[in-house]
Amino acid sequence: MSDTFIDAPDRRTRARAQQSGLFRRWWSPRTGAALGYWACTRMIMITTMFSRRENVTGEVHHYYQKWAEGLLNGSFPVGDVTWQYPPGAAAVVLAPELVPVLDYVPAFVVVVLAADLAVTAALLRASDGADRSTAGPWLWIMGLPLLTFVPYARYDVVVAGFAVAALLALRRMPWLGGGLAAVGALVKVWPAFAVFGAPRGRSLGPAVAGFVASAAALTGVMCFLFDGAFAFLDAQGGRGVEFESLGGTVLLVWRFFGYPGHIEYRYGSMEFVGPHVDTIAAVLVLLSVLGFCWLLVWRLRARVFTVSTPADAALAAVLVFTVTSRVISPQYFVWLLAVGAVCLTRRATTQRPVVYLVVLATALTTVEFPLFFEEAVRGDALITAVLVARNLVLLVAALLSCAALWRATTVRRPVRDRAVRTGPPA
C-alpha cells in the first residue's frame, strides 16, 4: 500500500515533466518570434488590401462571390470564360459562406488567413530537428508580404496549403501525402507535382494510391453535387498570351520596334491581341510539353532519393510550367514561395540558390503589379525592363533548379546516411 502512495506522486511528476517537455518542443522563443512577425506582416497586408483606393478585392467580389452564388444553386459557372479551375475549386469558393456573421469578402480573407497560419505552423513544425532549418518558415513569413495584398485577394494561399501539407506528409505517411496532393490538384492542378518526386520503394505505391483514390472520390462528389464540373476546360483552352508571360515580354519588347498588337482584357487576364500571338502561344504550349517530357525522363533516370528530393522535384516542376505558361500572374509566386519554403526546411536541399532567385523575382513582380501595372500595360520602358528582368530571373531559376535536381539524383554518390538514401522518407 505504501508503494502505491509513493508511486502516485512520481507518476504525476513524470506526467507534468512530459507535458512541460511537449510544450517546450512546440513553443520556444524562435517560434514566438516567428509567429509575432507573421501576425505583424499579415496585419499590414490585410490593412493595405482594404485601405487602397482602387478596388483590389474586385476579383473576390465580382468573380468568387458570383461563382459561389451559382454553386449554391447547384451548378458550376458554365459559359463563364473566367472560370478556368478544376472542380475542387468549388469547395474553396464556397468556404467563405461557412464563416458566420461576415460578408463574403471579409469572410474570404478570414479563410485565407487561416490557411496562411496553417502553412506557417506546418513549416515551423517541419523545421524542428537536427537536419532541419528554420529558413523554410522564415521564407514563407517574410517572403509572402513581398506580394503586398495579392495573396489575400486570391485563393492561392489555400492551394499552397494543400501542397505544403502533401510534401510534409509524404515523408512519413505517403498515402496521406498523395491524398492531399490530389485534393490540391483538383483545386488548382499544380499541387499534383508534390508526389512527382516521391521516392521509389515501399512508399511510392501508397502515395500513388492515395492520390488516385482521393482524386476519384473528390471528382465524383463534385460531379454529383454540381452540374458542369468540366466546363472549365473550354475556357482554359481558349486562353491567349498574357503580356506578363515570357512570350508576352517578347511582344512587349517588339512593340518598341513597331509591333502593331495591343493588350486587352480577355479570359480573365490582360492578353496580347495581334499578329503572331497564336504562334507564340503554340510555342509556349510546345515548351510545356517538352518540359513535361524532361521531367518524365528525370523521373526514370533518378536513382538517389533523399528526404529533400520530393520538395526539390516539386519546385523544379512548378518552375518549368511557370516559365513555359501562357500566363504568369503575380499569385503564381505564392506557389513558388510555398514549395521553396518546404525545400528550405531541409539542410540537404539542392534548391537553396534557386529559392533566392525566386525571392528576387517575387520582389520584381511587385514593382510591375500592383505598383506600376498601368504603366506596364501602356508599355513604359522602365517597367517593361523590370518585367523582362523578372522573367529572365525566372528562366535562370528554372534551368538552375532542373540542373541541380538532375545532378543530385541521377548520379550515384556516397551519402553520409544510407538510411536516408535507401529507406522510406523520414
Domain ranges of the chain: 29-422
> Over 80: is that where the pLDDT of 10 sits?
no
Burial 240-272 (b: 16+ CB within 10 A, else e): bbbbbbbbbbbbbbebeeebebebeebbbbbbb
373 φ, ψ (degrees, to nearest 5) = -65, -45
CB 229 within 8 A of CB 88: no
Pairwise CA distance, residues 155 & 105, whole Å: 12
pLDDT at position 12: 53
pLDDT at position 55: 67
Considering only residues 421 and 72, tell me which one the structure prediction assigns the higher pLDDT: 72
pLDDT in tens, 72-97: 999 999 888 888 899 999 999 999 99
pTM: 0.90
Please give the average per-residue pLDDT across 190-206, as a whole number.
91
CA atoms within 13 A on the CB side of 30: 15
Give the whole-number percent of the chain exceeding pLDDT 70. 88
Residue 30: pLDDT band with limits 50, 70, 90 = confident
- The neighbouring-strand residues paired with 242 are 271
Amino acid symbol at 68: A
Q: Across all residues in the chain, what is the average pLDDT?
A: 89
CA atoms within 13 A on the CB side of 80: 18
Pairwise CA distance, residues 50 & 139, whole Å: 25
Give the three cell numbers for residue 322.
511557370
Residue 54: pLDDT band with limits 50, 70, 90 = low
Pairwise CA distance, residues 371 & 320, whole Å: 27
> Over 90: is that where the pLDDT of 222 sits?
yes
